[in-house]
Amino acid sequence: MGLLSAGTPLSWDDTKQVANHIRSHGITQFLHIWDRLKDKNGDELLWGDEIEYMVVALDNETKNAKLSLRQTEILIKLRSIVDNLSSETKDAITLPTFHPEYGRYMLESTPGSPFTGSISDLLAVEKNMRYRRTLARKHLKPNEIPLTLTSFPRLGSPGQFTEPYYNPCDAVSSHSLFLPEQITNPHVRFPTLTANIRRRRGSKVAINLPIFFDEETPRPFIDPSIPWDRSIYSEDPEAKNGAALPDHIYMDAMGFGMGCCCLQLTYQACNVNDARRLYDGLIPIGPIMLALTAGSPIWRGYISDVDCRWNVVAGSVDDRTEEERGFKPLEHDRFRIPKSRYDSVDLYISEDWRNRPEYNDQPIVIDHCIYSRLRQHGLDDLLSKHIAHLFIRDPLVVFSEIINQNDKESNDHFEVLAQSSVNCGLLIIGQNIQSTNWQTLRFKPPPPNSPIGWRVEFRSMEVQMTDYENAAYAVFITLLSRAILSFNLNFYMPISKVDENMSRAQGRGASQSEKFYFRKEVCPGGNTPKSSGSSSPVDGSRPKDRKMRNCFPPPEMPQNGMPKGPVEEEYEEMTINEIMNGKGESYPGLLGLIWAYIDTLDVSPQELSKIHSYLDLIRRRANGSLLTPATWIRNFVRAHPAYAHDSVVTQEMNYDLIVAIDEIERGVRSVPDLLPEYYTGGEVDGGSISP
Residues 345-364 binding Mg ion (CB under 5 A) are: none
Of 410 and 631, CB closest to Mg ion: 410
Of 453 and 588, CB closest to ligand ADP: 453
Query: Given the DSSP bridges, would you call strands 162-163 and 144-147 parallel, antiparallel or unpaired?
Result: unpaired
- With CB under 5 to 8 Å by kind, the binding choice for 23 among ligand ADP, Mg ion, none is none
Cβ partners under 8 Å of residue 416, min gap 6: 428, 429, 430, 431, 432, 434, 435
- Residue 408 to residue 275: CA distance in whole angstroms: 23
Residues 73-112 binding ligand ADP (CB under 6 A) are: 99, 110-111
Spell out, one character per residue from 110 to 139, where the chain touches ligand ADP: x when CB under 6 A holds, - when not.
xx--x-------------------------
266 binds ligand ADP (CB under 6 A): yes
Cis peptide before 605 (omega within 30 of 0): no
Cα 115 to chain centroid, rounded: 19
Cα 360 to chain centroid, rounded: 23
Question: By C-alpha distance, which of 538, 493, 123 is closest to 345?
Answer: 493
- Residue 482 to residue 95: CA distance in whole angstroms: 26
Of 115 and 250, CB closest to ligand ADP: 115
> Which residue's CB comes closest to ligand ADP?
48
Of 100 and 629, CB closest to Mg ion: 100
181 binds Mg ion (CB under 5 A): no
Of 371 and 476, CB closest to ligand ADP: 476
Of 446 and 509, CB closest to Mg ion: 446
Cβ partners under 8 Å of residue 245, min gap 6: 208
- Select the span of 28-36, 64-72, 106-114, 128-136 touching Mg ion (CB under 5 A): 106-114
- With CB under 5 to 8 Å by kind, the binding choice for 47 among ligand ADP, Mg ion, none is ligand ADP
Residues 43-82 binding Mg ion (CB under 5 A) are: 50
- Select the span of 46-54, 200-208, 565-573, 627-635 touching ligand ADP (CB under 6 A): 46-54
Cβ partners under 8 Å of residue 24, min gap 6: none
Q: Which position among 22, 33, 37, 46 is part of the footprint of ligand ADP (CB under 6 A)?
A: 46
Cβ partners under 8 Å of residue 78, min gap 6: 98, 107, 135, 136, 139, 424
108 binds Mg ion (CB under 5 A): yes
Q: How far is the CB of 298 from ligand ADP (least distance, A)?
A: 26
- With CB under 5 to 8 Å by kind, the binding choice for 395 among Mg ion, ligand ADP, none is none
Spell out, one character per residue from 454 to 493, where the chain touches ligand ADP: x when CB under 6 A holds, - when not.
-x-x------------------------------------
Number of residues that bind ligand ADP (CB under 6 A): 17
Query: Dmax over Cα atoms in the chain, in whole Å?
Result: 75
**Crossing angle (nearest 10°) for helices 285-293 and 467-486:** 160
- Residue 520 to residue 554: CA distance in whole angstroms: 21
- Residue 568 to residue 70: CA distance in whole angstroms: 52
Of 286 and 453, CB closest to ligand ADP: 453
517 binds ligand ADP (CB under 6 A): no
Number of residues that bind Mg ion (CB under 5 A): 3
Of 354 and 459, CB closest to ligand ADP: 459
- Residue 173 to residue 296: CA distance in whole angstroms: 26
Of 278 and 493, CB closest to Mg ion: 278
- With CB under 5 to 8 Å by kind, the binding choice for 206 among ligand ADP, Mg ion, none is none
- With CB under 5 to 8 Å by kind, the binding choice for 629 among ligand ADP, Mg ion, none is none
280 binds ligand ADP (CB under 6 A): no
**Helix (H), strand (E), coil (C) string for 199-268:** HHHCCCCCEEEEECCCCCCCCCCCCCCCCCCCCCCCCHHHHHHHHCCCCEEEECCHHHHHCCCEEEEEEE
Of 174 and 421, CB closest to ligand ADP: 421
Q: What are phi and psi of 469, to 5 degrees?
A: -65, -45
201 binds ligand ADP (CB under 6 A): no
Q: How far is the CB of 343 from ligand ADP (least distance, A)?
A: 17
Q: Which position among 9, 48, 168, 180 is part of the footprint of ligand ADP (CB under 6 A)?
A: 48
Local structure of 189: helix, strand or coil: helix
Q: Identify the DSSP state of 541.
A: T
Of 446 and 589, CB closest to ligand ADP: 446
346 binds ligand ADP (CB under 6 A): no
- Select the span of 264-272, 488-496, 509-517, 563-571 touching ligand ADP (CB under 6 A): 264-272
- Residue 258 to residue 309: CA distance in whole angstroms: 10
Q: Identify the DSSP state of 116.
A: E
At 163, the amino acid letter reads E
Q: Is residue 608 within 8 Å of residue 284, measured between CB atoms?
A: no
Cβ partners under 8 Å of residue 677, min gap 6: none
Q: How far is the CB of 342 from ligand ADP (least distance, A)?
A: 14
Q: Which position among 49, 274, 394, 462 is part of the footprint of ligand ADP (CB under 6 A)?
A: 49
Positive or negative torsion for Cα 523, 529, 533, 538: negative
Residues 241-270 binding Mg ion (CB under 5 A) are: 264
Q: What are phi and psi of 108, to 5 degrees?
A: -125, 140
Cis peptide before 191 (omega within 30 of 0): no
Q: How far is the CB of 157 from Mg ion (least distance, A)?
A: 24
Of 66 and 309, CB closest to ligand ADP: 309
Radius of gyration of the chain (CA): 24
Of 268 and 411, CB closest to ligand ADP: 268
Binding site for Mg ion (CB under 5 A): 50, 108, 264
Q: Which residues bind ligand ADP (CB under 6 A)?
A: 46-50, 99, 110-111, 114, 264, 266-268, 452-453, 455, 457
